[in-house]
């Protein structure tokens, strides 16, 4: 099984060596192989538009989630693997601009969609301010949840720059943080909003 994905990579996290970062779930895969010796559920190679680059995914399993492919085949490790059940938000990415859980998205079905991870959030957009605010306000402790939060917060503030605290909390309810208690995260979001307002700039 080759883990592939080096055809472009420029500016799309492709500088991370491609390797198997995690091999969780391999037991399930071996079961597949036993059951299905000469016809493993391998799909045809396909391409993914990730963070502005076109990446080829070959030798992937039919059932691979976008999380698995991004991390284990394309080496994009900012997309965290927390629960693989759509519950923790640590794998949050944008799929054609919509916030989704990568672990609940079939990778091969994302082939003609645009996938945006933390690294692909536009540098001239809100993401740098969100990242800076997270650091400034102590919204990062262990950091495991942070990439997912930054993607979710950037998405929220892009759509709803004036969101009040209730709306912010509701929008971020799918992202779990086990360290900060959320107060620091909310403070960071509020700070970004305050900056937007005082700059008088529309995001």
Ligand X SMILES: Cc1cc2nc3c(=O)[nH]c(=O)nc-3n(C[C@H](O)[C@H](O)[C@H](O)COP(=O)(O)OP(=O)(O)OC[C@H]3O[C@@H](n4cnc5c(N)ncnc54)[C@H](O)[C@@H]3O)c2cc1C
Residues that bind other proteins (CB under 8 A): 25, 27-28, 31-32, 35-36, 38-44, 58-59, 62-63, 65, 68, 84-89, 92, 95, 98-101, 103-106, 108-109, 111-113, 152, 166, 169-176, 181-183
Which of 51, 81, 119, 121 forms a contact with ligand FES (CB under 6 A)?
A: 81
Q: What is the 3-state secondary structure (H, E, C) of 178-198?
A: CCCCCHHHHHHHHHHHHHHHH
3 is a site residue for ligand FES (CB under 6 A): no
Rg (alpha carbons) of the chain, rounded to whole number: 18
109 is a site residue for ligand X (CB under 6 A): no
Which of 16, 42, 95, 104 forms a contact with ligand X (CB under 6 A)?
A: 104
Closer of 9 and 89 to ligand X (Cβ): 89
* Tokens at 30, concatenated: 């071996």
Question: Least distance in Å: CB of 113 to other proteins?
Answer: 8
140 is a site residue for ligand FES (CB under 6 A): yes
Q: What distance in Å separates the CA atoms of residue 167 and residue 163, rounded to the nearest whole number?
A: 6
Give the three-class secondary structure for 134.
helix
What are phi and psi for residue 114, nearest 5 degrees?
-95, 125
Q: Which residues, including other chains, have CB under 8 Å from residue 41's CB and lie 6 or more apart? A: 32, 61, 62, 63
Q: What distance in Å separates the CA atoms of residue 70 and residue 59, rounded to the nearest whole number?
A: 14
Listed ranges 4-12, 79-87, 182-190, 192-200: which one lies at the site for ligand X (CB under 6 A): 79-87
Residues in the chain: 203
Listed ranges 22-30, 65-73, 85-93, 178-186: which one lies at the site for ligand X (CB under 6 A): 85-93
CA dihedral (110, 111, 113, 119) positive or negative: positive
179 is a site residue for ligand FES (CB under 6 A): yes
Residue 143 binds which of ligand X, other proteins, ligand FES, none (CB < 5-8 A, kind-dependent):
ligand FES
Give the three-class secondary structure for 74.
coil
In degrees, to the nearest 5, what angle opens at C-alpha 28 toward C-alphas 24 and 30? Answer: 105
179 is a site residue for ligand X (CB under 6 A): no
Q: Which residues bind ligand FES (CB under 6 A)?
A: 67, 81-84, 86-91, 101, 103, 140-145, 177-180
């Amino acid at each position: 099984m080759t883990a592939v994905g080096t055809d472009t990579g420029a500016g799309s996290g492709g500088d991370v060596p491609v390797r198997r970062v995690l091999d969780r779930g391999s037991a399930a895969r071996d079961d597949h192989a036993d059951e299905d010796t000469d016809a493993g559920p391998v799909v045809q190679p396909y391409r993914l538009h990730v963070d502005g680059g076109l990446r080829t995914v070959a030798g992937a399993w039919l059932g691979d989630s976008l999380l698995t492919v991004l991390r284990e085949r394309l080496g994009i490790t900012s997309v965290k693997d927390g629960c693989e059940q759509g519950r923790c938000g640590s794998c949050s990415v944008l799929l054609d601009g919509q916030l989704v859980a990568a672990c609940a998205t079939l990778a091969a079905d994302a082939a003609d969609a645009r996938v945006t991870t933390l690294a692909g959030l536009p540098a001239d957009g809100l993401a740098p301010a969100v990242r800076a605010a997270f650091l400034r306000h102590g919204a990062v402790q262990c950091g495991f949840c942070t990439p997912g939060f930054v993607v979710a917060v950037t998405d929220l503030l892009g759509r709803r720059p004036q969101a009040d605290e209730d709306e912010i909390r509701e929008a971020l309810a799918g992202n779990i943080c086990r360290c900060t208690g959320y107060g620091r995260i909310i403070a960071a979001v509020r700070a970004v909003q305050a900056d937007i307002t005082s700059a008088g700039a529309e995001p």
